[in-house]
Amino acid sequence: MKLKTHQATAKKVKVTKGKKKKFITRHAGQDHFNARESGKVTRHKRRDTEISKADLRNIKRLLPYS
């Protein structure tokens, strides 16, 4: 049976090229209610982060091309 990519995950996760593939995603909670956050928190949310090791196994299962 043909493996299918989970499209919702594929749109949220970027896979880097190279030998060691990194799975990059955006910080959550950048949509609204940001006025009450400190400036430091808001700036850190703008950056991309690598997916944690705990979630990596599930992400690789949802993205068979990686």
In a domain, 52, yes or no: yes
Query: Where residue 50 sits, what CATH number does that domain have?
Result: 4.10.410.60
* ∠ CA 28-34-38, rounded to 5°: 100
| pLDDT score at 65 | 82
| pLDDT score at 26 | 93
In a domain, 18, yes or no: yes
**pTM to 2 decimal places:** 0.75
Total domain count, the chain: 1
| pLDDT score at 17 | 92
pLDDT in tens, the chain (66 residues): 889 999 999 999 999 999 999 999 999 888 899 899 999 999 999 999 999 999 999 999 999 987
In a domain, 39, yes or no: yes
- Expressed as residue numbers, the domain containing 51 is 7-62
CA 60 – CA 66 distance, rounded (Å):
7
In a domain, 1, yes or no: no
Long-range contacts of 18-22 (CB under 8 A, 24+ apart): 21/66, 22/50
